[in-house]
Amino acid sequence: MKRIGRLAAVAVLLVGCSVITAAQTQCTQGSGGGYDLLQTPSGSTDDLSTIGLGKVTFQGVPLPSVAEVGTADTIVQRQNAIPNPIPQTGACIPIQIVALYLQSTGTVICNNSQCGSYTGQPVTVYATINQVQSIIPTSQLPQYDTLNASTGTMTVFPNYTFNTNGTTIQADLIVVPPGSPVTATKIFSTPMPADSISASGSSWTTTEPAGYPNSPYFPSGGFYVNSFAGSPMFASLITSRIAQGLLYGLGLLLVGISIVKIRSGVASGRLNLRPVYLLGLAAVAWFVAWRSSNFVFPMVAQAKAVCASHSVSVWVNEGGTYVVHVIQTANCSPLSTTATASVGTP
């Protein structure tokens, strides 16, 4: 979820880039919507250096089984029903992320001023949203801080595609002793810096996928995500160390060629602008190589629980750091009809 977000996951949800048109900004809340059940795969990275936690890798934790949502760790509410018929220009639907449950993986070192005796020591970090406390009690999914609502809009089209427009995501970061559950006595908690994610060109269907969780509390409303739109395939390439080295090498080569041409021009008495262009290209190559060290790869789940793996990338600019969210479908999970009070585990 960048963050979940930056995550999004967290987020939560989405793919590509879209522009919010004037018609979309007129979207108003109605009634009779539904819910999308999401799952965040492991490997979702969020840069939380600004709050003393460094780059944190998250994975989804199944929401407490009392919610009867299978392996979902994220719930998105569609606040309006899909109209019938859907206008050719699309139907604007307000959405809100009402539940989120992520846990850090690997080692997270606590260097926040609130870390106390854990300063410089390993900790476990959770990212949560719980706006459905009448169903999932805070004793099972805590949310200690007041958060901005994680809201946005989606535009649904009659050709069974949809765009997600500027969904803002903010979760509560809960820091606990290493290996402790989210319900343990916290070291500290703080709202996660908010992120905005957009997507366009995804497809949907009215047919329920096999194994999709049928929660009595979070019905789908007859809308199921069918596939995701894509983003630039070179995202993973430019972030690799090999690619960085090649870009620095290319810059040096261009500088070398420009120096040779300058010397040749001086000797012949015929100077031109070609060496200047080459120096400009070298600067661009070095800049891209330098900035690529700031790219990280959070993973965000989308609303679908099918027996298949499908992923794409989404670009997000987070305070000058460009982040690629990799979106993946949720897992198949046949659901028991008996609700229990136990908390799901990763």
Number of domains in the chain: 2
CA distance linking residue 309 with residue 71, whole number of Å: 15
Query: Are 174 and 264 within one domain?
Result: no
Q: What angle do CA 158, 162, 167 make, to 5 degrees?
A: 145
254 is written with which tokens? Answer: 């261009």
Amino acid present at 315 = W
Convert the pLDDT of each residue in 105-163 to its tens digit.
Answer: 989 999 999 999 999 999 999 999 999 999 999 999 999 999 999 999 989 999 999 88
Give the HSE-up count for residue 79: Cα atoms under 13 Å, Cβ half-sphere: 16
Tell whether 341 is covered by a domain.
no
Tell whether 343 is covered by a domain.
no
Convert the pLDDT of each residue in 247-260 to its tens digit.
Answer: 778 888 888 888 88
Q: How many angstroms separate the first and last alpha carbons of the chain?
A: 16
Query: Are 144 and 94 within one domain?
Result: yes
Query: Which of 97 and 305 is assigned the larger pLDDT?
Result: 97
pLDDT of residue 52: 95
pLDDT of residue 277: 82
Tell whether 61 is covered by a domain.
yes
Tell whether 345 is covered by a domain.
no
Least confident of 44-58, 211-225, 235-249: 235-249
Question: Which domain covers residue 279, as residue numbers?
Answer: 240-290
Query: Are 143 and 205 within one domain?
Result: yes
Query: Are 135 and 205 within one domain?
Result: yes
pTM beyond 0.75: no
289 is written with which tokens? Answer: 């190589």
328 is written with which tokens? Answer: 């993946």
Query: Are 258 and 208 within one domain?
Result: no
Tell whether 248 is covered by a domain.
yes
List of residues 6+ apart from 227 with CB closer than 8 A: 202, 203, 310
Please tell me whether residue 283 adopts helix, strand or coil conformation.
Answer: helix
Query: Are 310 and 183 within one domain?
Result: yes
Query: Are 253 and 153 within one domain?
Result: no
Neighbours of 77 (CB within 10 A): 19
Please, what sign has the CA dihedral across residues 248, 254, 256, 262?
negative
Query: Are 114 and 259 within one domain?
Result: no
Query: Are 184 and 264 within one domain?
Result: no
Query: Are 164 and 279 within one domain?
Result: no
Query: Are 11 and 82 within one domain?
Result: yes
